[in-house]
C-alpha cells in the first residue's frame, strides 16, 4: 500500500482543519433569543409600556408583563425543541468511512479533516469536496447540484463535489475542501443548517404582521390625536390611546405559532421522528397523496435467499452466485442474502472485468475469464421471452423477488448502446465494477443463456396493513411505487388489502407526456418497474394535478423523488443520501410511525388556524374601534388593564390549550383567506357591540369607569362567543375550557379586589343588562356571518 493509499496519520489528523458545518435541524441560541425578543411588535409594545409607566397607572401596564411572559415561554419551548432536534440529528448522522494509518475506520462527519482519504460505496453521500484517487467503477450522481440526471463516472484525478452521492461502484477520494469551504455549503449554506422552507402558514402570519404594521402607524396616530383633543387630562389621553394600539397588535400570534411548531417537533421526536425542516410539520397536515416505496417501507429492509432453481444441469450455479455476491466488500441486501447462503466465493473465480449494479441498469455481471461471463439481474430485463421468462413471471406473481442468472461469452464493452429501455427497474443487486461507465453505457450482453432463477423472500411489516387502513380513513390516497416486477408488487399490495392492488401497471409502458401520466397515476394504485427518474416524474405529475405529495423511501434510487416531493420521508435504516435530502426521518424505521407523523402535522396546522382566528378577531375589533373613536372624537371605551383582562380570558389562556389540542382534520390551502373571512366580520361586530354599549351607558350621571365597565362586559361576552365558535366541536374538555373562562370573568366582577385592580364598577344594573342584550344580538350576528362565510368546521 502506497503512503497516499494509507491515508493520514494520527499526527496529521490532529493538526488538520475539521469539517465543522452547522446542523441543518436547529438554530443557535442567539438566533432563538433574537427571534423571540427583538421583534418589531415587542419594540412597539415596549415603547407603549414605557409611556404608561411614566404617565399612567401601574395597573394599566400589566400588558407589558404578558409580553415578557410570552417571550420567555417562546424561548423555553424553542430551546426544548432545539435540544430534541440536536439529539436526534446526532443519531441520524451516518458515520463516514475513512482510511487512516492504513486502516479503515468510521468517524463522525464533523471529525473529517482536510486531506482525509474517504471511502465510497453505493448510497454514500459526499460531505466534502475532493479528488478521486481510487475508482472501482465509481459512479456519482450530481443531479442535486447540477440538475443533470445521468450519473457521472469517476476516474482517479477527477474532482467530486459535496452534495452529490455515489450510486454504483466503489472508490476513494482525498478531501480538498471541508467545512464552509465545501461547494454545497458555499452554494446554499442555509441547506446545511436550520432554515424555513416555503410555508403558507408562516407566510400568511408574516403578511398579517406586515400589513398590520402599516395600519397601526396611521390609525395609532389618529387615535392619539383624538384622545389628546377630547380628554380632560394628558394621562387619560395617553391611557386611552395605548389601550387601542396595544389591542391592535396580535402579539401572541407569532408566539403561538412557534410554540405549536416546537411542541410538534418535540412530540414527534419522542417517537424517534426527526424533523429536519420545521415547515415539514405543516406539510404533514396538507398531504393527500402518499407514494410508498415497497422495499424497506411496506416490507422490511432485509431479505433471505429462498430458492435457487437451476435451468441447466451442467452449469456451476452455486459457484457463480457465490463469486458474483462476493465481488463487493459492501454488499447490498440482495448480495448479502446470497452471501449468507454462500459464505465463501470459491477458488478459481477471478473477475477480469465487472459491471456494477445501478438502479437504472437493473443488472450486474462479471467476466471470469475461462469460466465465462455471468450476469445477474431482472428476468424481464435480461430475458427476451421463453419458458424461463414465463416461469419467472409466475414466481413474481407470488410476491417473491426474482433474479435471473445468465451466462455468456463476454460482457458488452462500455459505451455500447443499450437495447430496450435501460430504465426498467427491478432487482436490487449491487456488485462492484472495475471499469467505470455511465449507468446506461453497458449494453445487455448478447447471447445470454439462462442458467438459473433465484428467488428471495421479503417479510411484510406487521404494522403495514393497519397503517394503510389509517390513511384510507383519513382520505390520503396511497400509491405503491417499486422497481420490482409489477406482478410481485401487486401480490404484496393485494395481500395488504390495498384497493386496486390487483391492477398493477408496468411503468415502462407509461407515456412521457406529464398530463397523460398524471391521469394514469390518478387512475391506478400499484406501479412496478419504476426507474429512479420515473419516480421523480411521478411526483411532478401528481403535484401538477394539485396534489400535496409525500414520498417515502430508503434507497439511493429514491433520493431525487424525495427531494422533489412536498414532503420527503426517509426510513432510519436508509442510505445516507436518502436521509440527507428528506425533511422527515423515521429513526426507528417503523412504518407505523407515519400515522402519528401525519396526525401531528394536522394538529399543528388546524390549531394554529384556530388561534389565528382568535388573535386577528381582536386585532380587527381594535382597528375598527380605533378608527371610529378617532373619527368621532370620543373617548376610547376601555383602558389597557381592561384589554389585559379580556384578552387573557378569551384569547391568551384558551389559545395555549387550543394550540396543543388533538385534531384529525386535513388542512386545505387558503389559510389567509379563511382567517380573514372569519376575523374581519367577527371583529367588526365585536367593535360595534362595544361602542353601542359604551355610548348607551354614557350619561351625565355616570362616570367614565362605569361606562367602560359596560363596554368591557360587551367586549368579554362577544369575544367569548367568538372563542366558543372557534373551539368547536365542543367536547368535554373544551366545554370546561370556555366555561371556566366565563366563570373567571364572573368571579372577577364579584370580587372587590379584582374590581379595584381592573377598574371595574358594575354598579348600574340597567347599563350592564343593556350591554348583555347588545352582546347577545352581536353574538347571533357573528354566528350568522360565520355560517355564511363557511370558514369553520363543526
Q: How does DSSP assign 511-552, residue by residue?
A: -S-HHHHHHHHHH-SEEES--HHHHHHHHHHHHHTT--EEEE
Q: Length of the chain, please?
A: 794
Distances, alpha carbon 181 to alpha carbons 128, 144, 184, in Å: 9, 18, 9
> Dihedrals φ, ψ of 758, to 5°?
-105, 15
Q: Considering only CA atoms, give the Rg of the chain.
A: 33
Q: Is 565 exposed, middle or buried (0-12, 13-18, 19+ CB in 10 A)?
A: buried
Q: What phi-psi label fits residue 372: left (phi over 0), alpha (psi between -120 and 50 degrees) or beta?
A: left
Indicate the DSSP class of residue 503: S
Long-range CB contact pairs, 739-746, < 8 A, 24+: 741/649, 741/650, 741/653, 741/654, 744/649, 745/645, 745/646, 745/649, 745/716, 745/720
The alpha carbon of 658 is separated from its chain's Cα centroid by a whole number of angstroms, namely 22
Catalytic residues: 293
Separation of alpha carbons 15 and 560, rounded Å: 37
Residue 381 near residue 461 (C-beta atoms within 8 A) = no
Residue 275 near residue 570 (C-beta atoms within 8 A) = no
Indicate the DSSP class of residue 277: S
Residue 729, SS3 per DSSP: coil
Q: Which residues of 689-706 are buried (b: 16+ CB within 10 A; e: fewer)?
A: bbbbbbebbbeeebebeb
Residue 324 near residue 357 (C-beta atoms within 8 A) = no
Residue 426, SS3 per DSSP: coil
> Dihedrals φ, ψ of 403, to 5°?
-120, 150
CA angle 485, 486, 488 (to 5 degrees): 65
Residue 267 near residue 465 (C-beta atoms within 8 A) = no
Amino acid at each position: 500500500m502506497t503512503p497516499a493509499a494509507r491515508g493520514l496519520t494520527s499526527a496529521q489528523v490532529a493538526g488538520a482543519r475539521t469539517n465543522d458545518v452547522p446542523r441543518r435541524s436547529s438554530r443557535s441560541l442567539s438566533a432563538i433569543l433574537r427571534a423571540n425578543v427583538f421583534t418589531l411588535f415587542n419594540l412597539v409594545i415596549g415603547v407603549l409600556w414605557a409611556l404608561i409607566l411614566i404617565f399612567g397607572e401601574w395597573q394599566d401596564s400589566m400588558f407589558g408583563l404578558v409580553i415578557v411572559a410570552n417571550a420567555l415561554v417562546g424561548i423555553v419551548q424553542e430551546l426544548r425543541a432545539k435540544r430534541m432536534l440536536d439529539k436526534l440529528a446526532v443519531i441520524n448522522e451516518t458515520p463516514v468511512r475513512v482510511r487512516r494509518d492504513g486502516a479503515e475506520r468510521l468517524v463522525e462527519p464533523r471529525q473529517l479533516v482536510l486531506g482525509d482519504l474517504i471511502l465510497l460505496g453505493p448510497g454514500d453521500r459526499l460531505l466534502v469536496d475532493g479528488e478521486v484517487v481510487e475508482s472501482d467503477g465509481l459512479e456519482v450522481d450530481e443531479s442535486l447540484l447540477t440538475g443533470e440526471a445521468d450519473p457521472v463516472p469517476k476516474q482517479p484525478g477527477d474532482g467530486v463535489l459535496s452534495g452529490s452521492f455515489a450510486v454504483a461502484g466503489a472508490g476513494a477520494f482525498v478531501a480538498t475542501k471541508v467545512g464552509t469551504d465545501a461547494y454545497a455549503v458555499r452554494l446554499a449554506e442555509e441547506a446545511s443548517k436550520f432554515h424555513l422552507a416555503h410555508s403558507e402558514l408562516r407566510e400568511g402570519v408574516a403578511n398579517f404582521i406586515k400589513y398590520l404594521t402599516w395600519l397601526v402607524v396611521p390609525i395609532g396616530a389618529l387615535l392619539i390625536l383624538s384622545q389628546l383633543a377630547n380628554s380632560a387630562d394628558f394621562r387619560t389621553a395617553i391611557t386611552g390611546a395605548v389601550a387601542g394600539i396595544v389591542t391592535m397588535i396580535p402579539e401572541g400570534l407569532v408566539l403561538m405559532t412557534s410554540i405549536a411548531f416546537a411542541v410538534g417537533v418535540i412530540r414527534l421526536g419522542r417517537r424517534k421522528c426527526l424533523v429536519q425542516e420545521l415547515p415539514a410539520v405543516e406539510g404533514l397536515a396538507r398531504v393527500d397523496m402518499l407514494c410508498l416505496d415497497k422495499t424497506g417501507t411496506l416490507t422490511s429492509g432485509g431479505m433471505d435467499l429462498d430458492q435457487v432453481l437451476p435451468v441447466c444441469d451442467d452449469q456451476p450455479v452455486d459457484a457463480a452466485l457465490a463469486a458474483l455476491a462476493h465481488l463487493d466488500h459492501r454488499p447490498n441486501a440482495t448480495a448479502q442474502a446470497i452471501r449468507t447462503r454462500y459464505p465463501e466465493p470459491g477458488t478459481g473465480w477471478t473477475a477480469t472485468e465487472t459491471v456494477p449494479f445501478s438502479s437504472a441498469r437493473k443488472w450486474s455481471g462479471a467476466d471470469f475469464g475461462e469460466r465465462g461471463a455471468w450476469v445477474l439481474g431482472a428476468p424481464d430485463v435480461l430475458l427476451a421471452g421463453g419458458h424461463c421468462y414465463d416461469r419467472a413471471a409466475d414466481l413474481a406473481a407470488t410476491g417473491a423477488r426474482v433474479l435471473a442468472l445468465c451466462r455468456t461469452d463476454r460482457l458488452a464493452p462500455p459505451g455500447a448502446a443499450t437495447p430496450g429501455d435501460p430504465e426498467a427497474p427491478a432487482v436490487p443487486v449491487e456488485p462492484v465494477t472495475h471499469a467505470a461507465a455511465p449507468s446506461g453505457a453497458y449494453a445487455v450482453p448478447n447471447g445470454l443463456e439462462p442458467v438459473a432463477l433465484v428467488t428471495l423472500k421479503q417479510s411484510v411489516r406487521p404494522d403495514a396493513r393497519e397503517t394503510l387502513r389509517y390513511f384510507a380513513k383519513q382520505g390520503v390516497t396511497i400509491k405503491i411505487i417499486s422497481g420490482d416486477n409489477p406482478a410481485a408488487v401487486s401480490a404484496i399490495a393485494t395481500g395488504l388489502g390495498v384497493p386496486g392492488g390487483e391492477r398493477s401497471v408496468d411503468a415502462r409502458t407509461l407515456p412521457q407526456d406529464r398530463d397523460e401520466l398524471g391521469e394514469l397515476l390518478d387512475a391506478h394504485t400499484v406501479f412496478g418497474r419504476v426507474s429512479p427518474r420515473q419516480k421523480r416524474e411521478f411526483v411532478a405529475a401528481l403535484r401538477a394535478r394539485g396534489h400535496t405529495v409525500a414520498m417515502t423511501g430508503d434507497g439511493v434510487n429514491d433520493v431525487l423523488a424525495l427531494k422533489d416531493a412536498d414532503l420527503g420521508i426517509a426510513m432510519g435504516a436508509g442510505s445516507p443520501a436518502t436521509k440527507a435530502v428528506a425533511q422527515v426521518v423515521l429513526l426507528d424505521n417503523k412504518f407505523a410511525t407515519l400515522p402519528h407523523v401525519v396526525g401531528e402535522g394536522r394538529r399543528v396546522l388546524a390549531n394554529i388556524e384556530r388561534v389565528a382566528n382568535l388573535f386577528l378577531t381582536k386585532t380587527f375589533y381594535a382597528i375598527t374601534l380605533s378608527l371610529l373613536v378617532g373619527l368621532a372624537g370620543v373617548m376610547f371605551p376601555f383602558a389597557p388593564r381592561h384589554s389585559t383582562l379580556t384578552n387573557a380570558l378569551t384569547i391568551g389562556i384558551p389559545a395555549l390549550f387550543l394550540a396543543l389540542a388533538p385534531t384529525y382534520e386535513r388542512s386545505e390551502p387558503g389559510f389567509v383567506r379563511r382567517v380573514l373571512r372569519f376575523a374581519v366580520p367577527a371583529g367588526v361586530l365585536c367593535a360595534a357591540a362595544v361602542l353601542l354599549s359604551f355610548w348607551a351607558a354614557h350619561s351625565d350621571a355616570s362616570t367614565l369607569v362605569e361606562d367602560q365597565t359596560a363596554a368591557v362586559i360587551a367586549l368579554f361576552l362577544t369575544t367569548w362567543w367568538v372563542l366558543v365558535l372557534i373551539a368547536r366541536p365542543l367536547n368535554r374538555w373544551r366545554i370546561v375550557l370556555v366555561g371556566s373562562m366565563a366563570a373567571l370573568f364572573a368571579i372577577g366582577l364579584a370580587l372587590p379586589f379584582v374590581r379595584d385592580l381592573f377598574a371595574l364598577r358594575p354598579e348600574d344594573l340597567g347599563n350592564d343588562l343593556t350591554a348583555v342584550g347588545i352582546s347577545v344580538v352581536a353574538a347571533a350576528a357573528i354566528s350568522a356571518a360565520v355560517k355564511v362565510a363557511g370558514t369553520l368546521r363543526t
